[in-house]
Structure 1
Amino acid sequence: MSPLTAPAGAVRQGSLRELNLALVLGRIAAADRPPSRADLAAATGLTRATVSAVVEDLIAGRLVTEAEPAPRAGAGRPARGLVLAGHGAAGLGLEINVDYLAVCVVDLAGRVRHRTVHRADLRPVAPADALARLVELAGRARADAAREDLVLAGAALAVPGLVDAAGVVRLAPNLGWREVPVPALLAGHPALTERIDGVPALVVDNEANLAALGELHAGPPGPTSFLHISGEVGIGAGIVLDGALFRGTRGWSGEIGHIPVRPEGRECRCGGRGCLEQYAGQEAILAAAGLAGADLPADTATARLAELAGAGDPAALRALHDAGSALGVAVASVVNLLDLDTVVLGGGYARLAPWLRPPVLAEISRRVLTAAWSPVTVRAAALGAEAAATGAAGSVVRRIVARPSGWLARTG
């Protein structure tokens, strides 16, 4: 019987079950200690019988497991708490950037179970070939996940560029990509292109957006509104407002790297002049510090730059100060516009934050109208350079938590 001809009561009953599954699983995911079935009944308003039935479905679907009860004083058996399962469903995070590929697997509880980073300059590589390399890394991650009793529930791919709703990369200037149909290029890899419960197994998104989501959900609860800046060869930003990613009308917000900080300055790959990337991008900083010809992988060169700055090297300190000042000019414009009180330095900036932070704060103090009454916090990202791939994988498992009925239908 199709949904169009099913009795209304059956549809309502199915919808009620979906709501109850999401409600209970969401409470378990958000709890600061493992809640018991009784705790869940009290928190949700559902009957204990309903909660027990829902919990049994979640346990059978390997979304929830019972934790050992905490010791208690007094008579009676302590109630078992419930936690998100560390086996079963997991998310696959993928990232293509200018000078590396990254793959990450995160389980439902948010733990990273696999991570691979492959360093290579991808600018001379055709998009199809770069994606093929990434698929090979994803296959290894899938095999590792299976050995740990994990089933990948989908994947998210982070790309440093403008991505439309269909997953087409409209423009990634630092990669040299334009109008790249990523889903079509991956059509020969069903594990990444099949649809799961009506949702594409692979979602393509901007890397700064996924990095911001990774930071939002990393560790203890922090600010729910902030600007996350990913500092790589290119510079992108993810804007989080009241706990939600702000995407803009077409989903292309956050291109802070192309804010002109010197309108008549250096030419940029985007076609403009004086863009922030030309003064505070990774390659620009390394060149200013005299490390451009060091023939080192980018992460090693960044580590060397931090080492030199820590030792007081004048060229390194000057390069970081100038980059931080340029970054501060762009950040101040965003803070003035959106009234944010937290700026997170991610990607390669996380390691360089001790030297970038002072000039960024100086420009904020000088240029933000409200700085005297509402100080802005500037800090390093908790996830650092791993944020985009981790955030991508986390976005997959959060979809399961938001709608567990789809996963249960697939595995039931």
Structure 2
Amino acid sequence: MGISTLTDLIGDLKSRRLVKELDPVRRPGAGRPTRPIALDGDPWCALGVHIAPDAIAIAATTMGGEELWLVEDPVAFAGADPEDAFRQVRDVLVRRLAEVPTGREVISVEVATSGLVVRDRGQLEHSAELPWVEFPLRERIREVLTQAGVTGVHVGVANDSQLAGLYATRTELRLPPNSVAVYLGGWRGIGSGLIVDGQIFGGAHGVAGDLAHSNVGGETTDCQCGRRGCLTTVLGPEALLSHSGLMSMDEAIEAVRRDPSGAIEQLRSRAEAGDEQVLTTLADAGSALGRVIDDVLGVLNPHAAIIGGFIGVLSPYLREAMEAQLSERLSDPAFAATLVVPLESMEPRVVRGAAMSARDACLADPLTLTRPLTRG
């Protein structure tokens, strides 16, 4: 690109409020002061959308990462067929897109769901929590955006826990950009993901880092995945509620489906009150969690293992048994610097991670994604 062409391009971007000039910087030696430019994301808007079984959350940010708003709308997917469920998604999106202020333009959307997501096809293969199987979610969302007058934008789909890990790694812990991190979290079940160099690492088919079904023994315990002895049969919220004697398994499944936060709070409050069976159940779960993390540290040697979601909330009662399992590994100089970080807050990591991923897509290919701003 010639100098005149570059100058013209910068001038055009400035006229469209896509970049802005900063104060001049005088450097040693002869010549005029340098006038830097910076990305001016003020007219742009990236959306993160989290589709959960009972609510849809939407977060909007500028390209610089400033959060503009975060809203949540209730939905009722229980008993809904796939098309009825998607109609609810469409209604929420159309209503919220109509509320985008004049002067801001949506140029990127990232959608988060639980389950197995094939990111390159934008397809939700299946989810235990959502009524869709082999569902072309990206294309259906793109159709809704087009009907709302939002065209030519990036639309991505990703697993919710992977996006939560992205946010935890880059915003909450602010790990260096070249870090490797593993995240475990979730609310209705155990979710996990790998973050490598500040991006989701999905492996060959997008599901790398699935730790919920790591084998921790207990071969007589069936998992919904069809195997036995999975981590979720010991640490999953239904397992914790039933093993602790607070309710039957059927009651636990219904309690977690209806109100996962309330179910976890019941466990936490009983543990705080010193309920021996609850504390024993959580200690057993912490030991299983420690064995899984120990294996992950040995295989990946990550900079950090991050524990969020319901596991983070319960971490004060998991920590001692978990650390006992990790003590030998972390005493080795090769692993001693590894961070094992419980996050006890109920931060909306998924939707904020989705907004972050939407922003990343723009910054990865900014000239292509400015095309929606060149109308008229």
Q: CA deviation at 1:84?
A: 4.7
Question: Aligned to 2:212, which of 242, 245, 257?
Answer: 257
* 128 and 359 in structure 1: CA distance in 2 versus 1, 3 angstrom threshold: farther
Question: Aligned to 1:182, which of 112, 134, 137?
Answer: 137
SS of the residue 2:219 aligns to: coil
Q: CA deviation at 1:365?
A: 2.5
* 377 and 117 in structure 1: CA distance in 2 versus 1, 3 angstrom threshold: same
* Alignment check: 8 A CA contact 2:97 2:148 kept: no
Q: CA deviation at 1:411?
A: 0.8
SS of the residue 2:135 aligns to: strand
* Mapped pair 1:344 → 2:306: yes
Cα displacement string for residues 270-299 of structure 1 (whole angstroms, at most 9, x for unaligned residues): 222222122212333344452747697222
Cα displacement string for residues 32-54 of structure 1 (whole angstroms, at most 9, x for unaligned residues): xxxxxxxxxxxxxxx8x988766
Aligned to 2:268: 306
Unaligned runs of 5+ in 1: 1-12, 17-46, 70-77
Q: CA deviation at 1:343?
A: 0.7
* 190 and 119 in structure 1: CA distance in 2 versus 1, 3 angstrom threshold: closer
Provide the rounded CA distance (Å) in 1 between the counterparts of 2:277 and 2:55: 27
Aligned to 1:103: 58
Aligned to 1:73: none
Question: Aligned to 2:167, which of 196, 209, 214?
Answer: 214
- The 5-angstrom pairing of residues 303-342 of structure 1 reads 303-342=265-304
Question: Aligned to 1:232, which of 152, 177, 187?
Answer: 187
Aligned to 1:204: 157
Provide the rounded CA distance (Å) in 2 between the counterparts of 1:264 and 1:121: 36
* 265 and 117 in structure 1: CA distance in 2 versus 1, 3 angstrom threshold: farther
* 128 and 381 in structure 1: CA distance in 2 versus 1, 3 angstrom threshold: farther
Question: Aligned to 2:110, which of 156, 177, 180?
Answer: 156
State the TM-score, normalizing by the size of structure 1.
Answer: 0.73
* 155 and 382 in structure 1: CA distance in 2 versus 1, 3 angstrom threshold: farther
Unaligned runs of 5+ in 2: 25-32
* Alignment check: 8 A CA contact 1:187 1:193 kept: no
Provide the rounded CA distance (Å) in 2 between the counterparts of 1:51 and 1:314: 70
SS of the residue 1:275 aligns to: coil
Amino acid of the structure 1 residue aligned with 2:114: P
Q: How many residues align?
A: 355
Provide the rounded CA distance (Å) in 2 between the counterparts of 1:208 and 1:129: 25
* 352 and 190 in structure 1: CA distance in 2 versus 1, 3 angstrom threshold: same
Provide the rounded CA distance (Å) in 1 between the counterparts of 2:259 and 2:355: 25
Q: CA deviation at 1:155?
A: 1.3
Aligned to 1:27: none
Aligned to 1:139: 94
Provide the rounded CA distance (Å) in 2 between the counterparts of 1:272 and 1:409: 49
* 286 and 135 in structure 1: CA distance in 2 versus 1, 3 angstrom threshold: farther
Provide the rounded CA distance (Å) in 2 between the counterparts of 1:144 and 1:195: 13
Aligned to 1:30: none
* Mapped pair 1:245 → 2:200: yes
Q: CA deviation at 1:239?
A: 0.8
Q: CA deviation at 1:253?
A: 1.1
* 177 and 257 in structure 1: CA distance in 2 versus 1, 3 angstrom threshold: farther
Provide the rounded CA distance (Å) in 1 between the counterparts of 2:311 and 2:13: 40
SS of the residue 1:101 aligns to: strand
SS of the residue 2:48 aligns to: strand
* 320 and 114 in structure 1: CA distance in 2 versus 1, 3 angstrom threshold: farther
Aligned to 1:394: 356
* Mapped pair 1:266 → 2:228: no
SS of the residue 1:322 aligns to: helix
Q: Tell which deviates more after alignment, 97-106 or 309-318.
A: 309-318
Q: Tell which deviates more after alignment, 396-405 or 300-309.
A: 300-309
Provide the rounded CA distance (Å) in 2 between the counterparts of 1:195 and 1:270: 39
Amino acid of the structure 1 residue aligned with 2:332: A
* Alignment check: 8 A CA contact 1:350 1:385 kept: no
Cα displacement string for residues 306-331 of structure 1 (whole angstroms, at most 9, x for unaligned residues): 34444444444334323222222222
SS of the residue 2:308 aligns to: strand
Aligned to 2:234: 279
State the TM-score, normalizing by the size of structure 2.
Answer: 0.79
* Alignment check: 8 A CA contact 1:92 1:156 kept: yes
Amino acid of the structure 1 residue aligned with 2:67: V
Aligned to 1:41: none
Amino acid of the structure 2 residue aligned with 1:279: V
* Alignment check: 8 A CA contact 1:162 1:171 kept: yes
Q: CA deviation at 1:257?
A: 0.9
Amino acid of the structure 2 residue aligned with 1:96: I
Q: CA deviation at 1:162?
A: 1.6
